[in-house]
Structure 1
Amino acid sequence: MNYICTNSPEETIELGKRLATLLKSGDVILLSGDLGAGKTAFTKGIALGLDIEDYVKSPTFTYVLEYKGKMSLYHFDLYRLQDIEEIYDLGFEEYLQCDGVLVLEWGDRVKEVLKEDEIDYISVFLEKVGEKNRKIYFDCNTKERNIAKELL
């Protein structure tokens, strides 16, 4: 798995913006990493890259927030899921049909379900390696794309 290092929250946001330029409607991004690793900061960058002007926050208590820009962003927080199948109770299948990008914080919790349902995704793992330093790993479960190579 390829990774990119960032040295500040601003650099993590900038990397999210760069990723947004490579995204297409229907893309699913799974974000994972410990609390405070920068998942929401990375999502803010994706939103900025999609020309979304709204304040982006973690949808911890609502499970999903919607933002409109040149492409819509559907921002899920799966931290409180009790069962991975609950993702479908949130309307996940309907969001897949929408014109936009889906970002799933704590996405590692549903990776197996997505594989079983043959849903392609981009996996992003944020590792906290210092107070402001991060290693951000990228993997794609489809052979047609190499996101990390495009970002390097």
Structure 2
Amino acid sequence: MLPDESATEELGRWLAERVQPGDILLLHGDLGAGKTTLVRGLARSLGYGGRVTSPTFTLVHEYEGRVPIYHFDLYRLGEPDQVWEIGWADYLRGEGVLCIEWPERLGGLIPDEALTIRLSHLDEEGETVGVRVNEVEGNVAAGRIVELTGLGERPEALVKEWRETCTFLGSTVPPA
């Protein structure tokens, strides 16, 4: 549970301490679920001082910091093969961290090794995807549920570490 926007940014800061060039973050969630907020926390923590916005119309924004971030928003992507037109092969070379909003639009082009981050915004009753979370203290309606899943050795290790050490800004992590 991430109780507010600052906790979502804090997850980005936590990731910033651990990401390496070549890491891929697949960001799932409805509009307004916090995908760009998470990328903002990551980018700022890696030393990027500019504005972080969703690249909805340009498909990709680049943020320079200690580790470059390539922030994709594939919401408006018509066909998976269109990513080749924006230099997909170059981004996959591993020089920075790829943060991909709406990765399901990639179809079969989703990389084999990635950290999947699924964000769900809670409604006024504290419900999302049929899950009742009224037991969580704080402003439930402003919160989000986050689920991390690792595909591959390194992403799986990140998920394990997150479960063992997650203590940021009032978030709660269910036991493994």
Match of 2:23 in 1: 27
SS at match of 2:54: coil
Measured against aligned partners, the alpha-carbon deviations of 1:59-112 in whole angstroms (never above 9, x if no partner) come to 111111111100101111100011122222221110122521111111122253
The aligned amino acid for 1:27 is D
SS at match of 1:85: helix
Match of 1:142 in 2: 152
The aligned amino acid for 1:138 is L
Match of 2:162 in 1: 151
Give the number of the structure whose alpha-carbon radius of gyration is greater: 2
Q: How big is the shift at 1:49?
A: 2.2
- How many residues are aligned here? 145
Tell me if 1:8 matches 2:4: yes
The aligned amino acid for 1:123 is T
d(CA) in 1 for partners of 2:146, 2:89: 28
Match of 1:47 in 2: 43
Match of 2:119 in 1: 126
SS at match of 1:110: helix
Worse-superposed segment, 10-19 or 46-55: 46-55
Measured against aligned partners, the alpha-carbon deviations of 1:33-80 in whole angstroms (never above 9, x if no partner) come to 001100110110111221211110011111111111001011111000
The answer to which structure, 1 or 2, has the higher relative contact order (CA under 8 A, 6+ apart) is 1
Match of 2:92 in 1: 96
Match of 1:64 in 2: 60
Structure having the larger proportion of residues in strand: 1
d(CA) in 1 for partners of 2:83, 2:149: 21
Moved over 6 A (4+): none
Q: How big is the shift at 1:31?
A: 0.4
Q: How big is the shift at 1:28?
A: 1.0
d(CA) in 2 for partners of 1:67, 1:113: 23
The aligned amino acid for 1:122 is L
Q: Report the TM-score, using the length of structure 2 for normalisation.
A: 0.77
d(CA) in 2 for partners of 1:52, 1:80: 26
5+ residue gaps, structure 2, are 124-140, 164-176
Identical pairs, percent: 36
Worse-superposed segment, 39-48 or 123-132: 123-132
RMSD between superposed Cα atoms in Å: 1.5
* Matching residue within 78, 83, 87 for 1:87: 83
